[in-house]
A and B are shown apart, each in its own frame.
Chain A
Amino acid sequence: MATQDKSSIFADIDEGEVDQEDENVDRWRRNLRLWRETLAKQWRMLTDDLMVRLAMITIAFFMIVAVFAPFIAPRGPLTRQYEGDAGIIIADWVEPSFLSSESEYLLGTTAEGFDIFSQLVYGSRAALLVGLVAAVFTAGIGTLVGLTAGYYGGKIDDTLMRIVDFLYGMPLLPTVIILVALMGPSLWNILFAIIVLQWRSTARVIRSQALSLRERPFVKAAQVAGASDWHIISRHLAPNVLPLSFLYGAFAIAWAILAEAGVSFIGLGDPNTVSWGTMLQSSRAYSALDFGAWWWFIPPGICIGLVVISGFLIGRGYEEITNPELR
């Protein structure tokens, strides 16, 4: 630059010692502090609502249970408690301990001789794993695809959105069932199938946000300053759509748990893992309802309901933050 001929208000700064590092604001410490402030503020707004607080306590409770499952569960979830006369298959169950004084099982046992309470405790692991992993990937992939499509527009947008259209043409549960049937019944395959279908709605919404954001003058100002595409996407677009990604992530928890329970219920669940869905499935297989063994299918049903409702409530609470008009 030909700076010699022009008087600059920055001249003395540039001529001074280059080593002014001490004077410069520490970037990382500063960013950390700002992040903390923002998160603290959002946390306060979120926990302002009683329903959201209850939902969070519920999720936190199940998380603790899932983490400490081996300590809480008195027995292994898939260890037979007794052997029947016919060898392996036992069409008999023990009533919960609060119904019959002879029973030593808190929620009784299944017809296969498994301890229901232990299964319930271990089932929270599968549910939360499916819910959280699906949420992270749904929000992550959806946000990335949405931002790319919305920011670049044109052919990239067309291509990505046609893929989304294609996915929209596939019904969630039947597709997951077919994918799992093809790939084999395992928890990870169910998870994969759910993620493949779920990012579509996040991508759509984030794209529409990105489309309007990229026309905003602050993005133009960054372009004028010479910012690269990646810089604009990561610094200007992403922070402004992040609340929306969180929102879709929260809803994804609930949908994923429901889908996993549904797939497990029709018998495509992982036979080596216990989930609330597989518990419901085996109770149906042994006609627990007909025999009045309500302690077999009511507890997992309640657990599914609690976690799913909590997910929706947190999502709903977050929606009120991102969209103040809902208040």
Chain B
Amino acid sequence: MSDTGAPDVSDENPLLRVEGLQKHFQINEGLISSLLRATMGKEADYVHAVDGVSFELERGETLGLAGESGCGKTTTGMSLVKLHEPTDGRIEFRGMDLTESDDEELDEFRQNAQMIFQDPFESLNPRMTVYDTLAEPLRIHDIENETARIRRALEFAELQPPDHYFDQYPHELSGGQRQRVAIARALVLDPDFIVADEPVSMLDVSLRAGVLSLMERMTEEFNLSVVYISHDLSLLRHMCDRLAIMYMGEIVEKGATEDIIENPQHPYTRSLINAVPVPDPDVGRERVELAGEVGDAIDVPSGCRFHGRCSEYIGDICETDSPSLEQKAEFDDDREVSCHLYDSCGKQS
């Protein structure tokens, strides 16, 4: 599987590079309305779930994708592991373009990219034992030493003793144990890259810390690159090196986690961070409350997509010009913001 050129390529390129990723879903319509539309020459309606997302992910780096529900973060995550075919844009994995990969390349990608899902009650097949669930990816990829690997992966996920779990069905396990099994399944192939979609949001608060520390350990020991998808900024702050804030299918601000949390610049990021409760009554924060709902993802607003809810609305430019995600002259960190409030320093991402 290892062709000779591979190591060189992976040294130069980031592990994952996403450029202008778009995913639009056509709205389901009946036969008659689609015929009507066709005869009247109108175009089909699309939901713009992801509309031009770009970022890079280095080996061993963790990136957090944050945003309200419906902002396209899960769709982005699913596109990253090729559960969706992107409408437009490129995803490069170790310098290999996933949209044009052949079967062999895709097979290698499937071995190295895994996903952890939100709901551990849904992500395990109710009619498969723990052993079969973990053995499945190994059998698909013809990997030897099935039992030894499964044992090791379960041990790593702190399911001890592993043999005790082999014949158990998901309904015999608790939520935390299930999520550990799901993590073990993702790890058993020894991947380089994992997308974790709200990995602890369905778990009891008391179990979260354990699963999170497992995921931290996994990132470290496997030298994994992880994309965490969550709406929980305090979780992302704890887990991620870098953060990208999404709004209506676009990244509005990205940069180092601490920079963004401590010093948010995009009005949307500010309101998100302000919404996180602070367990200290003396901390007085200026509250920016978000008015209204997320805009229409079918009939996308012109200009800046946030202009209807923005507290810093500065005039027509917000409604006419779509701001680009770029480094701004005001900040000296490597943060990128897409907002007309700040001056472009001419360097575009």
Contacts and interface: CB of A to CB of B under 8 A. Distances in A.
A binds B: yes
Interface of A: 1-10, 13-14, 16, 18, 20, 23-25, 30, 34, 216-218, 220-228, 231, 235-236, 239-240
B114 A23 contact: no
A145 to B, nearest CB: 21
Nearest to A25: B147
Contacts, number: 115
Contacts of B141: 225-226
A217 B131 contact: no
Q: Ordered nearest first, which 5 A-B pairs have the shortest CB separation?
A: A226-B110, A225-B137, A217-B123, A217-B117, A239-B127
Contact of A225 (B106, B136, B166): B136
Contacts of A231: 140
B81 A224 contact: yes
8 contacts: A1-B108, A1-B111, A5-B7, A9-B221, A34-B167, A224-B114, A225-B189, A226-B137
A2 B108 CA distance: 11
A30 B128 CA distance: 12
B221 A7 contact: yes
Given A9-B222, A226-B137, A240-B127, A2 B147 contact: no
A236 B185 CA distance: 16
A221 B190 contact: no
B149 A221 contact: no
B223 A6 contact: yes
Interface residues of B, number: 53
B122 A8 contact: no
Interface of B: 1-2, 6-7, 10, 78, 81-83, 106-108, 110-115, 117-119, 122-129, 131, 136-137, 140-141, 144-149, 152-153, 156, 166-167, 182, 185, 189-190, 192, 221-223
A240 B2 contact: no
Contact of B190 (A10, A16, A23, A236): A10
Contacts of B189: 225
Contacts of A2: 2, 6-7, 10
B115 A224 contact: yes
Given A225-B137, A231-B140, A220 B147 contact: no
B309 to A, nearest CB: 31
Contact of A222 (B6, B112, B136): B136
A237 B6 CA distance: 37
Given A2-B6, A217-B123, A25 B131 contact: yes
Given A2-B7, A218-B124, A226-B137, A10 B152 contact: yes
B84 to A, nearest CB: 10
Contacts of B110: 224-226
Contacts of A227: 136, 140
Q: Which of B6, B81, B118 has the most C-beta atoms of chain A within 10 angstroms of its own C-beta?
A: B81
